[in-house]
A and B are shown apart, each in its own frame.
Chain A
Amino acid sequence: MKILMIATNNIRKAKVATATLIILIAIATIFLYVGISVLSNLDTFIDGKNAETNGAHFISITDGSHDAAIDQIYESIDSYVSSEREEGLMSMSSKYQNVDTGEEAYSLSTLFLNRETPRDISRVTIIDEAAQIPENGVIVPYVLKIANGYKTGDTLKFMVDDNTTELEIAGFYEDLMFASPSNVSMYKLYVGDRQFDELMNQPVYGSKCSYSAVITDDIDNTEAFESQFTKDLKTVWPERTGSYATLSYGTMKIGVAVFINIIMAVLVAFSIIILAIAAIVIKFSTTTHIENNIKNIGALEAMGYTSGQILGSILVEYLMITAVGFAMGLGASVLISPVITNVVSSSIGLRWTTGIYPRTVLISLAVIMISVLGISYFSAFKIKKITPLAALRNGIETHHFGKNRAPLERTKLSLNMAMGYKSLVFNKRQNLIAGLIIMMLSLVTVFSFAAYYNFAVDKSAMIKLIGLETAEVQVTATENEETIFDEIAAMPGVEDTVKLDSFDGVIKYDKKESGASTRITEDYSRLKVDTCVKGRMPVNDNEIALTSIVLNKLGAQMGDTVSIDYNGTTREFLVVGVTQQFNMLGRGAAITTAGMKKLMPVYQEKNLMIYLVDGENTKSFVTRINNQYANQNIQTASYFESIEMMLDSFEASIKIVVTGCLGIIAVIIVFVMFLVIRVRILRERTRLGVSKALGFTSNQLIGQILISQMPVIIGASALGAVAGYFATNPLMALMLAANGILNCEFYVDPGLVLLTILGISMLGLATVLIVANSIRKISPCRMFEEGVD
C-alpha cells in the first residue's frame, strides 16, 4: 500500500507526462486492438459468412459445350461432395451507370443468373430487400452498397455497346466469390425470370453460359481441387476452342482479404511506432523523475525503503497509467467501430461486424503491458544503483565541457540568438530524443502522404505494382488474328500495340509445383510497364521470369531450371529474372512467344494490347473496332478503365487511414514538445529565475527557448521528411513483401516533403510558444527562498 501511495503521488506530480502517456497508450491500443482483431478474425468471419449461405467452394463458368465431361471430372475428384449447374448470361463488354448516384459509366463484365432458380449452393440472402421486387429488379453485390453508396430503388443502367436496359436495384447479396470487383472483375447479378429471359433473348447483351458451383469436403483445400480440375479438363477440352473460367474459394478468400490485411498491418505497425514513442517518453520522464526527485528517493531509502520498493512504485505508477490508457483505448475502439466496420466491409464486400474479442483484448493488453513495463523497468533500473547518501548529495554531477562555442565577446549573433544557441548545444540529450521522435513522425507523415498520393491521386505506380499493362484497350480475336491485329495497329489514334497473351500455367521444380499466370509476348522490352526487379526478362526461348512468390513456393532461385507442363508437353526453362505483381495473388511468370512455341508449336497470340494516343476517346475507339469487326469473332474491352475502377474502391479506406495517421501525428508532436519544454522550464527554473533577476524580460527568455528548440524541430522534421522521401519505397516494399513485392516505385512529391517540414515546424513553433509562456509565471526570487530557508 505504501508503494501505491508513492505511485499515486508520482502521478499527481507529473500530470502532463501522465496525460501524454495515457493518450499515447490509448492510441496504441486502438490501433493494435483494431488491427489484431480484424487480422485474426477475418478468416473465421469469411468462412462463417460463406457457411451461412452454403457458399460454393469452386465455380466454373463455361460455354456449356462440355457439361457432361465436366460433371464426370467433378465426380472423379476425391474431395467432391455435390454440385449445381444453372444457365447464365455472360456479358464481357458490359457497362454500368447508377443514374441516381450520378456516377460515370464504367465497364465491367457481368454474369446474370436467374434469381428464381432454386439453389442450395450460394443461396441468395437479400439485404435491404425492396418491399416488392419490380420486374426489372436486380440483386447486386453488397460492396456496391457499402463502397459505392448504392441504395435499394436506385436505377442501374446496363449497357452493351449502344444497347441499354434499365434495371432497378431491389437488394444486395453477399457472396465471397463475387464479393468485390477488385478480386474478380465481374459482377454476378440476379434478375427475375422475365428479365432473365428478355436478356437471354438478346444476343447483343452477351452469350449463354453454363455456371456450376461445387461443394467439396475440405474448404481449405479448394485450390487443389481447382488445379486437379484444370489439369483434367485439358485432356477433354481441345486447344482453345472455347472459353472457361474457374474460381476457387481459397484463392478468392486470400484475394478479398489482401487489401484489408495491408491496411490492418499498417495500423499494427503504426501502433508499434506509437509504442516506441511511448517508450521514449517513459524513458525520458523516468529519468527526469529520478533526477528531480533524487533527494526524495535518498530520503526514502534512508528511512528504510529498499530501492526495490521505490522501483516497484514506479512500475505500479506505469501499470496504473497503462491500465487507464488501455481502458480508454478499448472504449474508443468500441466507439469508432462503425468506421472500422465501414472500412472493412467496403474492402471485403461482405457485411463485417465489429465485436469485442476477449482473446484480442488479452493479446493487445499483453503486448502493451509488457512493452510499457519492460521499458519503465529498464529506464528506472538505475534507482537500484543509487545509494541513499549519494542521492542526498544530489548525485555527483560531472560536466565535461568542450570548447566554448560562440563566445559572446566575438560572436556576431544577437544576445538572444547566442543564448538560445548555447542552451541548444547544452541540452544535447533531450534535443536528440525530441529530434528522434519528430524525425520518426516526419518520416511517417511523408510516408502517409506518399501512400495517399499514389493510392488515390496518381495511380500509375500502383498500377505498376499490380503488374498490369497500361493499355487502354484489349482485343481478343480467335480467328484471323494476324490480319486483324495488323489492321488495328495501323489505325489512326493507335500509338502502339503489343501482343500480350496469358494462360494459367503450372510451373514445376524439384517435385514441387505452383500455378502461375504466365504472360507471353514476343519482346518484353516493348511493354510499357516493366515488372522486372532482379535479373532480366526472358529473351531466348528457354528462358522464364517468375515472381518471388512462385520462386519461394518452388524453392527455386534465379539460375535454376524449372519446367512448364502444357497439355502433356513438358519443357524446361531457365529462370533469368524475378518479377513482381500484385494481381493473381502475386503468382506470375513470363516467357517469350518462342518459348511458348516450344510448348505448343502452333501457338498464335490471340490477345492484343492497344495503346491509344493521348486524347483519343477509349469508348469511341472500342465502338469503332466493334463496328469494323462486327462479323468477326472478337471481344473488345476497355482494359485500363476497369483497373482504375477497381482501385477506386481502396481509395476511401486509404483516405481514412491516412487522415487518422496525420491527426495522431499532430497530437503526438504537440504532446512531445509540450513535455520537453515543460521539463526544460522546470529543470532550469533557477537559471531562468537568475536571468530574470539579472534583468531579462519574459519575452527575451521565451525567445531564447524558441531559438534553442526550433533548430531541433526544423532540422529533425527536415531530416525525417528527407529520409521519408528516400525510405517510402523500401518501406512500402517491405510491407508488401508478403505479396511478393520486392521493389516499389511510388512517386513522392517534393512538395509534400516541403509541406511536411513546414507543417511540423509550424505545429512545433505554436506548441513551444504556448508552453514557454509559462515562463511569465516564474517569479525571479521564489526559487531562492527554497535554497535559503
Chain B
Amino acid sequence: MENTILKAEMLSKTYSNGSIMQHVLKNLNIDIKAGDFTVIMGSSGSGKSTLLYALSGMDKPTLGKIDFKGEEISKYSNDRLAVFRRKHCGFVFQQIYLNETMSVLDNIIISGLLVSRDKKAIAARAKELLHQVGMTEVCYQKYPSQLSGGEAQRVAIVRALINAPEIVFADEPTGALNSTNAINVLDVMTEVNASGQSIIMVTHDIKTARRANRILYLKDGVIIDELKLGSYVKDDPKRHKILREFLERMGW
C-alpha cells in the first residue's frame, strides 16, 4: 500500500436527467500504484470512460472519495482541480482533440506553459519528446489536420507528457487508428510506463489490453473481476492466453 498514488473509495457516479437517474459507477474501490499500467475493459456503456474521468479529477464523483497521494481531490473546487490536472495528469483521447488552430509545437507548448514559464525549456523538452515518439522536425510547424491519425495521437501523447505527470490517462488512444499506427502508439505508451509513469487506459482492444500489468473488468458500473498480468513477461504467449480466458469468462 505504501506506493499507492491514487485511491478511490465507494466511488459512484450518477447522471440524472430530470427524474431519471442513471448510475454509471456503483460503489467502486480502486487502488492505483505508482508505475502501474492499468487497463479498464468492459462492454460499451459499462462506465469505463466515466471511471477514467472521475479518477483523473476531470469530473467530480457523485458519491465516494478519491485520494491522490493522501489528498482528497474529490473535495477540490473546479479551479483547483484544473491546477491539479495540469501538474499531475496527462490525457490522451480517442478523438485526439488537438487544437486545430495551432501548430503541433504550439499544441504541446500551451500545455507546458501552464506549469512553467520557461518557454525555451518547454520547447526543448517538447522537441525531445517528439523525437522520442518518432516525430521529425518537419512536423513541428504542421497543423493537426495535416497529420495522419497516428502522428496526431503521438503528438497528443507528447502533449500529455510535457509536464511529466505522475499518471497518464488514456481513453481508447488507439480506437481511431489503424493497426500499424495503433502498435506504434502502444509502443510509445509502453515506453512511457517503463520510465515509471503510471498509465490508466480504457480500451476495447485485446491487443492493447495485453500491454497492461493489470486488467479491471467493468460491467454495469461495477468491477466484476480483476486480472493481474504483471507476473508474466511481456512477450510470453501465456499472457495473451490468460487474458483471453479471463475475458471469455467475463463474457466479453
Contacts and interface: CB of A to CB of B under 8 A. Distances in A.
Nearest to B47: A789
Contact of B86 (A407, A419, A695): A695
A785 interface: yes
Nearest to A423: B101
A696 to B, nearest CB: 6
B119 A408 contact: yes
B39 to A, nearest CB: 16
A694 interface: yes
Interface string B104-119: 0110011101110001
Interface stretch (B1-9, B87-95, B218-226, B237-245): B87-95
Interface stretch (B77-85, B147-155, B189-197): B77-85
B27 interface: no
B141 interface: yes
Contacts of B94: 787-788
B82 A695 contact: yes
Interface stretch (A447-455, A737-745, A773-781): A773-781
A399 interface: yes
A785 B50 contact: yes
Nearest to A410: B119
B100 interface: yes
A378 interface: no
B14 interface: no
B106 A408 contact: yes
Interface residues of B, number: 44
Contacts of A426: 101
B110 A415 contact: yes
Contact of A690 (B89, B93, B106): B93
Contacts of B101: 422-423, 425-426
A785 B114 CA distance: 26
A695 B111 contact: yes
Contacts of A66: none
Contacts of A787: 94-95
Contacts of A779: 58-59
Contact of B114 (A415, A690, A780): A415
B99 interface: yes
B170 to A, nearest CB: 12
A425 B99 CA distance: 14
B49 interface: yes
Contacts of B102: 404, 408, 422
Interface in A313-344: none
Contact of A693 (B91, B99, B100): B91
B97 interface: yes
A400 to B, nearest CB: 10
B171 interface: yes
Contacts of B210: none
A292 to B, nearest CB: 17
Given A422-B101, A694-B85, A784-B49, A699 B111 contact: no
A789 B45 contact: yes
A494 B206 CA distance: 106
Contacts of B50: 785
A687 B99 contact: yes
Contact of A696 (B89, B97, B105, B114): B114
B53 interface: yes
B83 A695 contact: yes
A227 interface: no
B91 A407 contact: no
A690 B97 contact: yes
Contacts of A781: 49, 53, 58-59
Interface of B: 44-45, 49-50, 53, 56, 58-59, 78-79, 82-87, 89, 91, 93-95, 97, 99-103, 105-106, 109-111, 113-115, 119, 123, 141, 143, 145-146, 159, 171-172
Given A694-B85, A694-B111, A784-B171, 8 more contacts: A404-B141, A415-B114, A425-B101, A687-B99, A693-B91, A695-B83, A695-B114, A776-B78
Task: Give 8 nearest A-B pairs by CB, closest first.
Answer: A695-B86, A781-B53, A408-B109, A426-B101, A690-B97, A415-B113, A408-B106, A695-B85
Interface of A: 399, 401, 404, 407-410, 415, 418-419, 422-423, 425-426, 686-687, 690-699, 776, 779-782, 784-785, 787-789
9 contacts: A399-B100, A408-B105, A690-B93, A694-B86, A695-B86, A698-B78, A779-B59, A785-B50, A789-B45
